[in-house]
Chain A
């Protein structure tokens, strides 16, 4: 069977959609189709990928406008007569073809206070029930699809004010760690702009790891920020005792 696939190619200011026809094999995923095109027709076609098993989060792209890992998206999920269109993630600056510059994410990560262990004698004791939630956040493969679909980043390009869903769960994973001593709430409020999230849950729907980004991380963290900084009694107490936020 043959089918058509359109790939966005080129660099900023010189973009085009190239159409290819490929021979489809059973079970083929979008990344296989791209590799086939690379090997036969377009050797310099740029696509970022690594594991081809949904574990590294490198091959993120927009397939027919939807955020997808191209290695986990089967061609058979789409009607045979439909031309598939693959484009790079829109939220990040384009480098070439399907590859974007995601380095901003790595800068944001460096701004987060790292894990600070509670030193004690002997091996740490933590129970599974205590770490289940943290482990959910640590499943993140950093595909940055949640960042790609987040309105605050995608439509409003507020990268200077908002860290994005990926780093909300990163922070939540540290804050909810039973043995972590770090303080991150002020930073989360002032620099990483947690208040800017208006809970549309696009990130949650996009997550290939099915992490409850909004419900399990962002909302609880918003509550913690509110408790810490906007509790009227606490505010009054701080005024009286001379502590400031």
Chain B
């Protein structure tokens, strides 16, 4: 058998974005010896790209805000499909997690009174997003990173990828990983494992996600036997760049709209007024006049329709394009230039200013941007318990985008940064507790051997280029499981994915093991195919349109399906999708959801 290094720890954290870092800190504070494994260099994870802010009902800008309203907004935004326990814990704890970051050195933008400033965002009733210009994620990851590296019992393993979860007697006991830079193998023997691996966006061609987002945690958990839920819900962010082609999909922060930016079609019409759903009618402006009074900050003003939830705005842009009112490169115009002064734009949206200037030769203080939907966030993922972040497999935990339940059918902007802080901490504490209370079991040699064989398999002969397979996968997902879906298209897509899956063993990795991206992609593709199949199969089962999941053949809500989550799990005959009833929300909380003011 191949040589491998062995590292012993109490808690293995897979992924070092916001969720993984916060989990590692919490586990370490609990006294656990933590191994923090990161696919990239530390501080480069996808959290760094979060722009607009972190949602927390601090009430600094509008004192009417409180956790109940945040809870209400989250449930409404989720189209009633979120796990209410998670949404409640999240809304209650988010302010503490943000204040804690400030005590650890984070420097948020300030209000005139010197408090943490908060900005408006889609689906949030009041200005709620603590932010740092449009680089909030960078501030958060850097703060957590600098805090974590000074903790004695956290050891960081950079550019190290976990390729398999090791189990013994149905309990998680560690993982096999490889160092990207050397290609050498390492076995982590752990009391418990936290998956904080982020999302799945690289299965799509047009995406705001980085190369790391290959559904690793989703697939590792599935292969370990854990339940996945809400896999049919992929958030397509309404505003990605559409031009030039090489940056198609790159994110344009919702902060542009939060700071007053408007969406306009090729006929110069501010079209979002035509797309206001009933559930948001009471809090949304119906005319330009009403919307303008909001921009001026007038008391009691209604929010502009550009700040409706992301699913609504993304579909509206798509409809405008489809009906022939799109911008020259197939998007909509996003105009902040005519709404705010150049100084304000450069101060509040500096990275957007540079991004367009450098990549599209466009000055956003003078001209409108062209934007269109881009694959952005996976609502679905590993099913976890709200209070412990435990998956359905003993010793296996999940937090952040890899976990699911918090956002239901649609996530509100700003709720991901708060999610990863709140549940990262819970996962860290509970995984540490589990490791302390259960005596450690070593992985079986036989299982390690099998994992190693699978990990090195791409070096055996084959005739499929992994980059080609990846491109085909992205085309399948883009055309069969994209922003609008039908049963027929989903079925076609599933058949194509199954065919593609059969070709995976023929992929080859040319060259040596040392820093070999071709080999890494071969392994990542196994994860992407599993998540793509889970996503498509769950989407096929959900015969209704809800949140981010739009079925042209079932355009309306189905009340019965609104009471269930789809669970994907490995069954005896392969992947199975089963319906699972939602937790019943207590009447008191349900009242918050129904009210306009709480």
Contacts and interface: CB of A to CB of B under 8 A. Distances in A.
A74 B359 contact: yes
Given A47-B517, A51-B210, A123-B115, A56 B359 contact: no
B366 interface: no
Contact of B105 (A43, A50, A114, A139): A114
Contacts of B510: 43-44
Sorted from nearest, which 8 A-B pairs have the closest CB atoms?
A27-B244, A115-B105, A44-B511, A43-B518, A39-B467, A125-B114, A46-B515, A128-B110
B360 A27 contact: yes
A25 B245 contact: yes
Contacts of B512: 44
A131 B202 CA distance: 37
B110 A50 contact: no
B275 interface: no
Contact of B49 (A40, A56, A115, A138): A56
B244 A26 contact: yes
Contacts of B251: 53
B110 A114 contact: no
Given A74-B358, A115-B104, 17 more contacts: A25-B245, A26-B244, A29-B247, A44-B518, A46-B516, A48-B41, A50-B48, A52-B247, A53-B208, A53-B247, A56-B43, A56-B48, A58-B40, A106-B41, A106-B156, A114-B147, A174-B105
Most buried by B among A55, A72, A109, A123: A55
A96 interface: yes
B416 to A, nearest CB: 16
Contacts of B43: 56, 142
Contacts of A114: 105, 146-147, 150
Interface residues of B, number: 68
B181 A99 contact: yes
Interface in B366-410: none
Given A32-B246, A117-B103, A134-B107, A54 B115 contact: no
Interface size class of A (residues with CB under 8 A): 35 or more
B171 interface: no
A68 to B, nearest CB: 11
A53 B245 CA distance: 14
B158 A106 contact: yes
A79 interface: no
Most buried by B among A11, A26, A32, A50: A50
B547 interface: no
Contact of A27 (B40, B156, B243): B243
B290 interface: no
B467 A117 contact: no
Given A44-B516, A95-B181, A56 B245 contact: no
A178 B560 CA distance: 55
Interface in A108-127: 109-110, 114-115, 117, 123-127
B539 interface: no
A165 interface: no
Contacts of B109: 128, 135
B334 interface: no
Given A43-B466, A110-B149, A131 B509 contact: no
7 contacts: A28-B244, A28-B246, A29-B359, A56-B44, A97-B515, A115-B147, A117-B104
Contact of A25 (B211, B246, B468): B246
Contact of A106 (B135, B149, B350): B149
B315 to A, nearest CB: 24
A110 B99 contact: no
Contacts of A28: 244, 246
A52 B209 CA distance: 9
Given A114-B147, A125-B115, A44 B509 contact: yes
A71 to B, nearest CB: 9
B121 interface: no
Given A39-B467, A123-B116, A102 B105 contact: no
A128 B347 CA distance: 12
B258 to A, nearest CB: 18
B245 A72 contact: no
A244 interface: no
Contacts of B138: 55, 138-139, 141
A50 B158 contact: no
B92 to A, nearest CB: 17
Interface string B543-581: 000000000000000000000000000000000000000
B245 A27 contact: yes
Given A55-B48, A128-B110, A50 B351 contact: no
A60 to B, nearest CB: 11
B355 interface: yes
A67 B181 CA distance: 22
Contacts of A11: 514
A161 interface: no
Contacts of A151: none
Contacts of B440: none
A99 B245 contact: no
Contacts of A135: 107, 109, 132-133
A94 to B, nearest CB: 10
A38 interface: yes
A45 interface: yes
A125 B139 CA distance: 18
A57 B138 CA distance: 11
A192 interface: no
Contacts of A139: 135, 138, 350
B132 A54 contact: no
A175 B298 CA distance: 40
Given A29-B246, A56-B49, A123-B116, A49 B181 contact: no
Nearest to A116: B105
Interface in B30-78: 40-46, 48-49
Interface string A132-160: 00110011011000000000000000000
B126 interface: no
Contact of B519 (A44, A96, A109, A174): A44
Contact of B113 (A40, A103, A125): A125
Contacts of A32: 246
A39 B495 CA distance: 25
Contacts of A45: 517
A50 B150 contact: no
Given A55-B138, A102-B41, A127 B509 contact: no
B292 interface: no
Contacts of A231: none
